């Protein structure tokens, strides 16, 4: 931490303070209820009580004590949580006060602190059109601070977006089932095959961050635009293209949304115009209701 610029250190410190507060006081309960442990762990044997499931009776202890006893289990809480974060060039765009990349990093930090708060392990995959950085899941505050630092300081080598490659990499490095938060603007080629493989073992949570200018051009007449990923330039009549851009963005999100629903999950849509925390809480609450 000492080797990085003071301004960046202060930014990391601010995000640590703010996201720890959010994770502890606001989001942790929603996170915990939405993502449960995958197994049950034996805790104790106790006397049978009215209403207990007879299938939990420990017949060996019951025979010795001449009185019914049951096995008591508790949820195995610990999860492997992986943040697969898109750091492609298209995320370095923002028409408001914050770039999509900064918003994605802050959302990822909140999820990371929520995971650590709930005794889960947290890992990180940074990807563009290649795998840029991988941190295996670990526990502890020092590790989560390293995750946040990488989110804020890593300089990507690639420009494009390969979600399929990121999911394929996750399948290779994570043999144990867990939760994968996939954070991106999802401006990318098809990844349905790789997503279908991942959901067989992991719980996939796709979080899409959208800037308002991606749905509607500001009225500026003829403007020269440069594709952040390919570098291609084009003159666009913003007044004539407004409706077409909105339709194109809507269709892209709807097509991917339907694909995710077929796989048993759905997008968490984060509109950069509005505060992200209520949007996250609403999504987590909906997942919790669906898990009941």
Shared-domain flag, residues 153 and 192? yes
Please report the pLDDT score of residue 190 as a whole number.
94
Q: What is the pLDDT of residues 116-154, one digit of tens each?
A: 877 889 999 999 999 999 999 999 888 988 998 899 889
- 166: pLDDT confidence band, cut at 50, 70 and 90? very high
Total structural domains within the chain: 2
Shared-domain flag, residues 12 and 109? yes
Q: What is the pLDDT of residues 215-229, one digit of tens each?
A: 665 555 555 555 556
Residue 208 main-chain phi, psi, to 5 deg: -105, 125
- 252: pLDDT confidence band, cut at 50, 70 and 90? confident
Whether the pLDDT of residue 86 is over 50: the answer is yes
**Domain limits at 46?**
39-76
Q: Sign of the C-alpha dihedral, residues 7, 10, 12, 14? A: negative
Shared-domain flag, residues 51 and 133? no
More confidently predicted of 206 and 32:
206
- The domain boundary, picked from 76, 102, 133, lies at 76
Shared-domain flag, residues 60 and 145? no
In CATH, what number is assigned to the domain containing residue 128? 3.40.50.410
Shared-domain flag, residues 198 and 63? no
Shared-domain flag, residues 131 and 260? yes
Please report the pLDDT score of residue 2 as a whole number.
47
Q: What is the pLDDT of residues 55-67, one digit of tens each?
A: 888 888 888 888 8
**Distance of alpha carbon 41 from alpha carbon 37, whole angstroms:** 10
Please report the pLDDT score of residue 21 as a whole number.
67
Shared-domain flag, residues 187 and 216? yes
Please report the pLDDT score of residue 198 as a whole number.
96
The SS3 of residue 45 is strand
More confidently predicted of 93 and 168:
168
DSSP for 206-233, please give it: EEEEE-GGGTS--S-SEEEEE-TTT--E
Residue position matching structure tokens 């007449």: 221
Please report the pLDDT score of residue 71 as a whole number.
83
Kindly state whether residue 1 falls inside one of the protein's structural domains: no
Please report the pLDDT score of residue 263 as a whole number.
93
DSSP bridge pairs for 271: 210
The SS3 of residue 133 is strand
Do the beta carbons of residue 228 and residue 93 sit within 8 Å?
yes
Residue position matching structure tokens 């968490």: 268
Shared-domain flag, residues 105 and 208? yes
Radius of gyration of the chain (CA): 23
Shared-domain flag, residues 135 and 43? no
């Amino acid at each position: 931490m000492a080797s990085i610029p003071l301004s960046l250190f202060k930014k990391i410190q601010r995000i640590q303070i703010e996201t720890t507060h959010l994770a502890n006081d606001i989001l942790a309960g929603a996170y915990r209820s939405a993502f449960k442990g995958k197994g049950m762990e034996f805790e104790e044997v106790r006397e049978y009580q009215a209403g207990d499931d007879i299938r939990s009776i420990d017949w060996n202890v019951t025979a010795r004590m001449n009185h019914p006893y049951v096995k008591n289990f508790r949820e195995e809480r610990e999860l492997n949580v992986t943040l697969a974060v898109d750091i492609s060039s298209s995320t370095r765009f923002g028409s408001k006060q914050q770039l999509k990349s900064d918003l994605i990093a802050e959302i990822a930090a909140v999820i990371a602190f929520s995971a650590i708060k709930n005794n889960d392990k947290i890992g990180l995959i940074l990807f563009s059109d290649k795998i840029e950085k991988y941190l295996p899941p670990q526990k502890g505050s020092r590790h989560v601070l390293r995750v946040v630092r990488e989110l804020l300081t890593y300089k990507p080598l690639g420009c494009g977006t390969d979600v399929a490659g990121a999911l394929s990499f996750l399948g290779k490095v994570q043999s144990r089932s867990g939760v994968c938060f996939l954070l991106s603007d999802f401006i990318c080629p098809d990844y349905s095959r790789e997503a279908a493989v991942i959901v067989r073992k992991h719980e996939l949570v796709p979080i899409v961050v959208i800037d308002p200018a991606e749905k509607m051009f500001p009225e500026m007449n003829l403007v020269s635009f440069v594709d952040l990923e390919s570098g291609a330039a084009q003159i666009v009549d913003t007044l004539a293209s407004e409706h077409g851009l909105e339709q194109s963005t809507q269709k892209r999100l709807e097509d991917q949304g339907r694909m995710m629903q077929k796989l048993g999950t759905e997008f968490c849509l984060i509109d950069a115009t509005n505060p992200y925390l209520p949007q996250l809480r609403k999504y987590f609450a909906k997942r919790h209701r669906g898990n009941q």
